[in-house]
Chain A
Amino acid sequence: MFVMIVGCGRVGSAIAKRMLEEGHEVSVLDEDPEAIAQLEKNEEQTWVDLGGSFTVGTALEIDALMEAGIDRADAFVASTDGDNTNLVIAQLAQKRFNVKTVVVRVLDPARAAWYEQQGLRTVCPTKIAIEMLEDAVLEAVG
């Protein structure tokens, strides 16, 4: 499977490394050329030597998305630090490039819920954290 990941912070880079370990082809796009360091942290080899690919570019630029291979991606993960950026590029991946599996990180629970209803696969870390913290508190107080 060919997985494309946009946004190489803590989340994006962790998913990228995991996918590569699982034997998938992985392409990462980030606007910061230094972000590749996240992928090479605690590694002896470079990300490219490990078999991954990395493209520097802005998420909304079609040229950058194409260079990173969006037109042949089987799965697309939008994990930049901007909710709106993620929601826009995920829709591009889905509607323009017909990527089969599209997953979007959305920090704002309200936007995550609404776009989920519209047919996007959203993951809201905020909502998950709230639920886990609530459960932990309720469990502690019995």
Chain B
Amino acid sequence: MLVVGAGKVGWNLTRELIDRGNEVTVIESDAARFSTVEEELEHSVQYGDGSELWVLERAGIERADMVIAVTGDDEDNILICQVAREKYGVERVIARCNNPRNLQHFELLGVKPAVSATDLILRLIEHEVPRYGLLHLLDLPQERLEIIEVEVAGGSPADGTMVKDLELPDGALAIAILRDGTGFVPLADSVIQAGDEVLVVLDSGLVDEVSPRFRAPEGAPAA
């Protein structure tokens, strides 16, 4: 495994990977940082600019099973992963995305998965404080599918309705109901209640058609 960038993420990651019995080399371009990390990791760390091809080659990229680019610069991480996959045929790459707004660039240039700590924390915050009772659980942009979790508001069209009468648009399906701390897969005649959380799988873009079924009508007092 080849890790590029021995900052906080890269250093800790390398240590954990070595502890799990992997052969790991980490590349660091800052001389002072390299010396610090070398005291602990010794020969597992190499000094150099990990976006230079010869540095990657010296670190053994040609026989790497996985390349993990975790520098603080998104353009560097994109380039490193692109070159690893397309030039050196590395099968698995993982990139760190520092600015979640750059995720679209990673995607466009075929660098995936890209992991954004900021984005993960944002999602966790959203999970803790769901906006309008709606949470995106899973996005599969390539397959154009998503799974959402919606809270059933009192007085909403879904409240007291059987699943078969839910009148979801084509391309949307209620797949689970979470109630009182447990979940179940509903039958056509399962009755949805206010306070339930319903998992819906749907075609991307249908969310605005689906969510009103679970919201209280305009002007009604909030449940």
**Which A residues have a C-beta under 8 Å from some C-beta of B?**
60-62, 82-85, 87-88, 91-92, 95-96, 108, 110-111, 114, 118
Contact = CB atoms under 8 A, between A and B. Distances in A.
Nearest to B102: A60
Contact of B108 (A85, A87, A96, A118): A96
Sort chain B's interface into a size bin: 20 to 34
A16 to B, nearest CB: 22
B75 A108 contact: no
B51 A83 contact: yes
A88 B105 contact: yes
29 contacts: A60-B74, A60-B102, A61-B101, A62-B101, A62-B104, A82-B75, A83-B51, A84-B51, A84-B76, A84-B78, A85-B75, A88-B75, A88-B78, A88-B105, A88-B109, A91-B108, A92-B108, A95-B108, A95-B109, A108-B52, A110-B52, A110-B54, A111-B51, A111-B52, A111-B53, A111-B83, A114-B53, A114-B83, A118-B86
Nearest to B51: A84
B20 interface: no
A60 to B, nearest CB: 6
A114 B87 contact: yes
Contacts of B52: 108, 110-111
